[in-house]
Amino acid sequence: MSINENKITNESHLLQSRLYLNQLIRFVFDFPPDRDAFLEVSNQPQFQSLCEISNACRTIQKGIQPLLTQNGEYMKRLQEEYNRLFVGPNVLPAPLWESVYLDKEHLLFEEVTLTVRECYHHYGLSFIREGNEPDDHIVIELEFLHVLIKKTLESDNLDTQNKLLADQYSFLTNHLLKWCPIFCETLSNSASFELYQGAALLLAEYLELEYELIPALKEALSNAR
């Protein structure tokens, strides 16, 4: 494990760190790269701290570094790489939807997508483009997990916190961990730029961290009763 959980000394800090990691990964996958936005990320104290303990973040940092010294040609090639990997028009090397990996026919808007949608609806949430775009995009799934983590941070009721952690773990194990390891491996092998190689590593690190820490948080809540 590259991210050392011993670096985080209390539950509140832990939850905030989970939120930041989640946001960082969503940022990389959500839009084609923007020079100013990536340079802003590279200057964030949280990102710089993560680079000290995470090989994945250091790889992302290496992918951002040329933006400081190279002209617009590097940015253009980085945007082309984003489109090649995730948008098209050709066959996508690393699709961003769960159903592509888990549906028997590798189709969108089938049972896998609808099951994910039900998880959102359980919390009164819905994808803003529901019905027009698949709900099981990696960014949307991570955003849902982010919402549950934030709700946990904001709640002071132990039963509510325990239920939220249980639902986080359920979504993690029934969805994200069922397809993201394949996605991460595919992306790592397909990406030509360190930015996206690092993003694949960071997503894998983050999900492993969640898998280990959610049960630990639940145990800590049980001991607090």
- Per residue in 87-120, pLDDT tens? 999 999 999 999 999 977 777 778 899 999 999 9
CA distance 221 to 31: 37
Contact 15, 168 (CB under 8 A): no
Residue 170 has pLDDT above 60, yes or no: yes
Question: Higher model confidence: residue 183 or residue 8?
Answer: 183
Q: How many residues does the chain have?
A: 225
Grade residue 68 by pLDDT with cuts at 50, 70 and 90. confident
Tell me which residue has tokens 């390891």. Answer: 181
Among candidates 78, 58, 97, 42, which has minimal Cα distance to 205? 58
Tell me which residue has tokens 């491996």. Answer: 185
- Considering the four listed CATH numbers 1.10.3480.10, 1.10.3470.10, 1.10.357.10, 3.30.1950.10, the one that applies to the domain covering 7-224 is 1.10.3480.10
Residue 69 has pLDDT above 90, yes or no: no
- Per residue in 7-60, pLDDT tens? 334 556 667 788 999 999 999 999 999 999 999 999 999 999 999 999 999 999
How much of the chain is in helix, strand and coil states, percent to nearest 5? 75, 0, 25
